[in-house]
Every structure is written in C-alpha cells, then in structure tokens.
Structure 1
Amino acid sequence: MIADSIARQGSWFFRWRSYVLLGFAPLVYLVVTQPEPIETTFGPAADTLFESVCIALAFLGLAIRAYTVGHVPAGTSGRNTARQVADTLNTTGLYSLTRNPLYLGNAVIYMAVACFLQNIWFAVLMLLFLIVYLERIIATEEKFLAGKFGDDYRNWAAEVPAFFPRLTGWRAPKLPFSFRNVLRREYSGLFAIIAVFFVLDQSREYLAESKIALDPNWLAALAIGALAYVLLRWAKKRTRLLNVAGR
C-alpha cells in the first residue's frame, strides 16, 4: 500500500534526518564555485543586505524551535533518532497553531541556507525536497501519535494544521518557558547555523573569487559559536546546570 510505503520512507528519513542533507554537498560545491549573482549585478551593499536577511531568517527558524522546546515537558519534541518518543501529547503553545512547529523551524532554516547561496534552481530543489522529506516524516510521526493517543490526537489534528500555522486558536503553554532547557537542547543547532554560513561564505570567497584571507568577522562569529558549543556541551554532559525538573 502507498500509505505503508510512505511510512517506511518516513521512518528511514526520521532515523537519518541529521545526515540526509549531506547529499546536497556536491551541488553546494558546484554553486559556491560561481560568483555571487547579487553582488555581480547590484553591488556589494545589496549582496550584504541579502545575506543578512538570509541569516536573520535562519535564526528566526531557530527561534521557532527554541520557543517550542522552551515550553515542552520531558519525553517530547526531542532530537531522538532511533525511535518515536512521546510521553505526552503537546497541544498548547505553538502546538495550538501548527502540529509540527519544530519541523516548521527546520524548514525556515534550510530554506534560508538555500537562498543564501543565491541560486534559484538550488533553492527550488531544496523546496521540493523538503516537501517530500517532511511529508513522509510527519506522516510517520502522526501514525505513531494516533496509535498512542487515539481520539485525543485525532480531535486535535482535526483542528490544527499539519504545517503552516493558523492565525487563531492560540492556547497558552502549560509550562513556563525554560531558557536552560533551550540551551541544553538547541546549542548544537545554534553552532550548526553559524558553521554552515561560515563555510558557505568563505568557500565561495576562496573558490569563486580566489580570496585566501578569512573574513575576521566570520572568524569571530565562528569562534564565539564554537566556544558556546563547547561550554554548553560540557555543562550538559558533566554538570546538572542545564537540568530542569520535568524537562
């Protein structure tokens, strides 16, 4: 059956979702060997503005994720890959507007990075990939949630859109926002965004424009991001500073 095939594909994507996008690496390499079209056509100021907007959008996607995980209880909305996990059904906060706020945040990040490359065909390809990729992961997760929570899930799903948020129906989160929970669960995403933009920008500078010297602003951003990553990972693994009861 088609539904079973989609579920199997979704399970595979779910398990390997941290690595699937590496398949775009050859295309990214081809794109960064070409000059930046916006800078070539409109000048450096327009190029800087466009790149700044893309970076801001990526951090907007991270903010969506951060707000979501800042309110959720333990056992839900995690970075697990081996199997589906859901001790409770999240229906408040951003989950009252969209059933998949974390994937919404991810999609915003991925499209921001794709647009940063300034290649319309790459951006379109990324969009088409995300439609197939997220559809299958969401279908797999919803099958699991419907089996575990039954009518509670089906009634909620009947009211709340699967992906694009509705503009009404907001329900305040049950738990207060926990910044420590965000730091514990999203520090790797923060560093990944900084590192990806650094690599893309500096690779293009070297491959397309033959500029060998690294941009000091990008180096500073990468250094700060790396330091934050190391400190937060140490705090998570070696201390209880980021632990929050019930989160």
Structure 2
Amino acid sequence: MRITVGNFLFRTRNVLFPLLYLLLFIGQQQISQAAVAMLIAGAAIALLGQGIRVLTVGLDYIVRGGRQRKVYANSLVQTGLFAHCRNPLYLGNLLMIIGFGVAANNSWYLTIAMPLFFLGYACIIAAEEHYLLGRFGDDYQYYCAQTPRLLPRLRGLGKTLRTFAFNWRRVVVKEYTTLCMTLLMLVLLTARALHADARGWIIAVGLIVLILLACGAVRILKKSGRLHAGLPRQ
C-alpha cells in the first residue's frame, strides 16, 4: 500500500505538495506569542535544510528525479552526502518543511500540513527503496546496511567535505528553483510575522521581484545552453 501511494505521490508531488504550503498563510491561530523568535528559529531550520540540499547537489549528483514521472535511478550513488545518509535531499526537504512551519507560527500548518508531508515522504521513500532494491539487488541491500535512511551518520563527514570538489555550477543549474522558492517563502513569512506596513510590503515585493528575475535569468541561461552543469547525458 505504501509503495502504491508513494508512486502516486512521486508523480503528483509537484502539484499536491505546493497546495499544503498554502496552509502557511491560512488561519491566524498562533502557537506562540513570540512571533519574531519563531521566525528566526524557523528561518534557521529552513536554511539548514536548504544548505543540506546544496551540499548534496554540489558534492555528488544523483539522477533520482524520475523519468516520465516514475521513480528512476541510472546508478547507485554512494558518495558525497549519500555516504552518510541515503536520502539527504529528502532530509533537506523535511527540515525546510519544519522550518517554514515554525517561522509561520501557524497551528493549522503544524497540525495538518506537516504530518501529511511526513506521511507523504515516508511513502515516496518506500517506493524508491522498492525500486532500488529491484534494480540494484545485493548492492543496495549492502548500502542500506551501512548507511542510515534519513538521520545522517556524522563520522567521516569532515573527510567527505575536504576530499570532494564542490560544483557550484551544478548547484545553480539543478537547485535554482528550490533556492528561489526558499527565499520567496522566507520573504513572505517575514512580512507576515512582522505585520509589515505599506512600506514593509513594498520592500517585500521588491525582494520578490529580484528573486524572480534571478530565477528567470538562470532559467534562460540554462535553456540556451550557456549555463550547464557539465554532466553527461542521461
């Protein structure tokens, strides 16, 4: 059952998951009166999650984004952050989900959307593991035995960071949409938490425009071929 649900969510996650983010801005019931402290703590957690995603993509690339909206992997990547955690990208996503919820200080999101996110990712991970076991067999079983599913093993992390060349170009090409989404979300949550006045919203809108322009510029450069990650064709 989890595998079936996971495959469905994998196909539809880009449509369904953004709908859950709407709960960040619906409802006024707060869980804490310390809105600024919640904003700062939440932003720190979200940026930690984004940082993990950046490190994952920058250190070693994994083609597990699916093919024809189905779970797919052309190789079993076990290096970079994947040597310390089997799902570092999903770990980053979950930290961002938690961070946005804390920053929003919104009881609806924390009690409804976050549990649904966690359940959804649990199903997607189960579907991916089922696929990877079928494709890579004993190699994947050995990898699972040596590497935690989600909470990273910190032993040897320093060596990984020292020995792997960091590919900033790949980060920009592969991660720019998530980076833009994170920045946009934090700008909106900051304006909401601080009860921005007209001037505050003008500043917020200006930042949003700059972020969207930067995202659009990267997309244009990527589509034109002038900016690429230098990866082999899959």
- For the aligned pair, the TM-score class normalised by the smaller chain equals 0.7 to 0.9
- The residue correspondences of 1:1-247 to structure 2 (distance < 5 A) are 5-24=1-20, 27-31=23-27, 34=28, 38=32, 41-42=33-34, 47-73=35-61, 76-78=63-65, 82-120=69-107, 122-168=109-155, 170=157, 172=160, 176-202=165-191, 211-246=197-232
Partner Cα separation in structure 2 for residue 120 and residue 35 of structure 1: 6
Provide the identity percentage. Answer: 28
Whole-Å Cα distance in 1 between the matches of residues 26 and 64 of structure 2?
A: 35
Residues 200 and 81 of structure 1: is their aligned pair in 2 closer, same or farther, counting only changes over 3 Å? farther
Instruction: Give the distance between the partners of 2:231 and 2:63, measured in 1 at CA.
Output: 14
Aligned partners of 1:97 and 1:161 also within 8 Å: yes
With over 3 angstroms needed to count, the CA separation of the structure-2 counterparts of 1:80 and 1:231, relative to structure 1, is farther
1:96, 1:35 → 2: CA distance?
A: 41
CA contact (8 A) 2:59 2:165 kept: yes
1-side partners of 2:3 and 2:77: how far apart? 22
| One-letter identity of the residue aligned with 1:51 | L
User: Which string of whole-angstrom CA distances, capped at 9 and with x for unpartnered residues, describes residues 64-98 of structure 1?
Assistant: 1111111334x614376612221111111211111
Change (3 A) 1:156 1:226: same
Q: 1:57 to 1:221 in 2, by over 3 A?
A: farther
RMSD: 2.8
Contact 1:96 1:169 in 2 (8 A): no
Residue 173 of structure 2 contacts residue 227 of structure 2 at CA under 8 Å; is this kept in 1? no
SS in structure 2 of the partner of residue 172 of structure 1 = helix
- TM-score, reference length from structure 1: 0.80
Q: Cα gap change, 1:25/1:68 in structure 2, threshold over 3 Å: closer, same or farther?
A: closer
Deviations 1:108-131 (A, max 9, x none): 111111111213453243342233
What amino acid maps onto 1:229 in structure 2? Answer: C
After superposition, the Cα gap between the structure-2 partners of 1:80 and 1:61, relative to the gap in structure 1 and judged at 3 Å, is farther
Letter in 1 for 2:53: R
Amino acid of the structure 1 residue aligned with 2:226: R
Equivalent pairs counted in the alignment come to: 231
Further displaced range: 193-202 or 165-174: 165-174
**How far 1:48 moved relative to its partner?**
3.2
Q: Which amino acid aligns with 1:166?
A: R
Letter in 2 for 1:115: V
In structure 2, relative to structure 1, the CA distance for the partners of 1:26 and 1:9 (3 Å cut) is same
Q: Distance in 2 between matches of 1:36 and 1:125?
A: 14
Contact kept? 1:35, 1:204, Cα under 8 Å: no
Unaligned runs of 5+ in 2: none
Provide the C-alpha distance between the structure 1 equivalents of 2:174 and 2:75, rounded to a whole number of angstroms: 18
Q: In structure 1, give the amino acid aligned to 2:205.
A: L
Q: What stretches of structure 1 of length at least 5 have no aligned partner? A: none
Q: Structure 1 residues 228 and 56, CA, compared in 2 at 3 Å: closer, same or farther? A: farther
Deviation at 1:163, TM superposition (A): 1.0
Choose 1 or 2 for highest CA Rg. 1
